[in-house]
Amino acid sequence: MTGPKPGQKTVLVTGYDDVHVTQHINHADTPPIVAVHPEASAIAYVLSITDKKCRLIDDHVLGLHVIATARRPEVLAELAELGMSTVALDVTDAESIKKCHDEVAKINGGKLDILVNNAALYEVDDAQPKSDRGRTHTHPALDISLPDVRATFETNVFSIMAMVQAFIDQLIAARGLIINISSLSSITPYLFGSVYCASKAAVSAYSRTLRLELAPFGVRVMVSMTGAVKSNTASQGHRILPENSLYQRVKHIFEWRLVFSQNNSTMDTATFSKRLVADSLRSERPAWLRSLFGRPDWFWYGGLARLAWYGHCLGEGVVDSVSWNKFRMPEIMKLIGEGPAQKKQK
Ligand SMILES: NC(=O)c1ccc[n+]([C@@H]2O[C@H](COP(=O)([O-])OP(=O)(O)OC[C@H]3O[C@@H](n4cnc5c(N)ncnc54)[C@H](OP(=O)(O)O)[C@@H]3O)[C@@H](O)[C@H]2O)c1
C-alpha cells in the first residue's frame, strides 16, 4: 500500500464493492489503464483509478490519493493491489467509524480533501450466503417490515451523519468537500421504492442544511442527484412479493420494477463516474454561477437525470404525471384498481 505523496489530495470513499480489476498495458511509456468491472459500485468506480500507476481516460482524475473503504476483506485486498490505501469500514458501526477515522489520520496527516458518502442500500445478514447479502429496498409500502426500514435508514442516512461528524476535523483542516450520493428517487415517486425514496430524500434535505452550517468552516457540500447507472444493485438477491401482498396481481410489474434502474436509459458506470469526478474538481464560483461555471452544489447526472431535472424545474405535478405513466400505473389501475365496472355498481 502506498500513501499520498507530499501535497497530494486525499479522498475517502465509503462502500466499495468488488472492482474486478484488469489492467491493459498500452504503450511501454504510458502507465496501464485500469479497467474496472462495469458493474462495480458506480461511484466508487471512478475514484479507484487515480494513482500514479494507473491512468484513466481523464487526466484530471490523476492527482488524488484514494483511501478506499469497504467492509469485506476480499474487496480491500483487491483495492490495495491497485495502489490505494485501504481501511475497513462498516458505516453503520460507530466503533468501526472511529477506528477508520484514526487510521485515515495516519495516512493523510489529519487532512481530508474529499469525503464521498457512497455506501447504501443493503440490509445485510452476514450469516447468509453472498447471493442473499444484499437486497435492494424495493417493496410495496404495504409490505415493508420496520426492522428492514430501520436498517436501510441506518445505512443510507444515519451513517452519513455519523461520517460527517467523525471526519469533520479532517475536512475542516483541508477546507474539504463532502459528496453525498443521493438519487433522483428523492424527488420522484419511484413505484415500490417508498423506503429508498424516503431515505434519499432525507440525504438531500440533510445535505442542503449541512451546506449552510459548514460554510463558515470552508467545508463544501455537494449532492449527487444520481440517475440510473449500471451497478451491482439490481443483480443482487431479489425481493419476493409476499404471498398475501395486495399487489400479487401485478407481480410482473413488481418484477419489472426490481430491475428498472438497470434497464431504463441506464448510463454506463465509467461515463457517470468520470463526470462526477470532473465536476467535483471544478473551480469554486459564487453560488449563483456555480451550477453553470464551477463545481455544482447539485450534480444531476445518470440515466433519466435530465428528464427529472426538467420536471423538477417545472413542478411536482409534471413529475407525478410522467411517473404515473413511466411506472405503468394505468395498467396497475386496470388490474387492481377501481375499474369502470366496479364504479358502475356503486
Ligand atoms: N446504480 C444506480 O442506478 C443508482 C441510482 C441512484 C443512486 N445510486 C446510489 O449510488 C450509490 C452506490 O450504489 P451502486 O448502485 O453503486 O450500488 P452498489 O454496487 O450496491 O454499492 C453499494 C455499496 O455500499 C456498500 N455498503 C452497504 N452497506 C454498507 C455498510 N454498512 N458499510 C460499508 N459499506 C456498505 C456495499 O458493500 P457490500 O458489498 O459489503 O454490501 C456496496 O459496495 C448508492 O448510494 C446508491 O443509492 C445508485
Higher pLDDT, 175 or 20: 175
* Average pLDDT of every residue of the chain: 81
**Beta pairing partners, 10:** 65
pTM: 0.88
Q: What is the DSSP letter of 268?
A: P
Q: Is 16 in the pocket of ligand 1 (CB under 6 A)?
A: yes
Closest ligand 1 atom to 117 CA: 45
**Residue 190 among the catalytic residues:** no
Q: What are the start-end ranges of the H helices in the chain? A: 42-47, 73-81, 94-108, 146-153, 159-174, 194-214, 251-258, 269-280, 287-293, 305-314, 316-326, 329-336, 340-345
**Residue 53 among the catalytic residues:** no
Dig out the grid coordinates for 310 from the structure: 426538467
In a domain, 2, yes or no: no
In a domain, 245, yes or no: yes
Q: Is 188 in the pocket of ligand 1 (CB under 6 A)?
A: no
Domain with 115 in it: 9-338
Q: Quick one: pLDDT at residue 9?
A: 83
Cα–chain center distance at 125? 21
In a domain, 35, yes or no: yes
- Per-residue pLDDT for 336 more than 80? yes
Q: Is 90 in the pocket of ligand 1 (CB under 6 A)?
A: yes
Cβ(219)–Cβ(171) under 8 Å? yes
In a domain, 346, yes or no: no
Q: Whose CA is nearest to atom 38 of ligand 1?
A: 17
Q: Is 151 in the pocket of ligand 1 (CB under 6 A)?
A: no
pLDDT in tens, 176-185: 999 999 999 9
pLDDT in tens, 145-182: 888 889 889 999 999 999 999 999 999 999 999 999 99
Confidence of residue 21 (pLDDT cuts 50, 70, 90): very low
What number is the average pLDDT over the span 208-236?
A: 88
pLDDT in tens, 124-150: 444 444 443 445 578 899 998 888 889
Cell 428528464 -> residue: 307
Q: Is 124 in the pocket of ligand 1 (CB under 6 A)?
A: yes
Choose, from 200, 206, 274, 301, the residue flagged as catalytic. 200
Choose, from 16, 45, 196, 247, the residue flagged as catalytic. 196
Sequence-distant (≥ 6) Cβ neighbours of residue 180 within 8 angstroms: 117, 160, 203, 204, 206, 207, 221, 222, 223, 224
- Per-residue pLDDT for 221 more than 50? yes
Dig out the grid coordinates for 145 from the structure: 417490515
Q: Is 138 in the pocket of ligand 1 (CB under 6 A)?
A: no
What number is the average pLDDT over the span 315-344?
A: 86
Question: How close is the Cα of 98 to the center of ligand 1, in Å?
Answer: 21
In a domain, 4, yes or no: no
In a domain, 124, yes or no: yes
Sequence-distant (≥ 6) Cβ neighbours of residue 256 within 8 angstroms: 328
Q: Is 233 in the pocket of ligand 1 (CB under 6 A)?
A: yes
Closest ligand 1 atom to 229 CA: 3
In a domain, 345, yes or no: no
Closest ligand 1 atom to 156 CA: 45
Name the least confident of 117-126, 193-202, 216-225, 242-251: 117-126
Question: How close is the Cα of 193 to the center of ligand 1, in Å?
Answer: 15
Closest ligand 1 atom to 72 CA: 40
One-letter-per-residue 3-state SS of 114-175: EEEECCCCCCCCCCCCHHHCCCCCCCCHHHCCHHHHHHHHHHHHHHHHHHHHHHHHHHHHHC
Using DSSP, state whether 242 is helix, strand or coil: coil
Q: How many structural domains does the chain have?
A: 1
Rounded CA-CA distance 163/12 in Å is 11
Higher pLDDT, 37 or 105: 105
Give me the CATH number covering residue 48. Answer: 3.40.50.720
In a domain, 187, yes or no: yes
Return the percentage of the chain with pLDDT > 70, whole number: 76
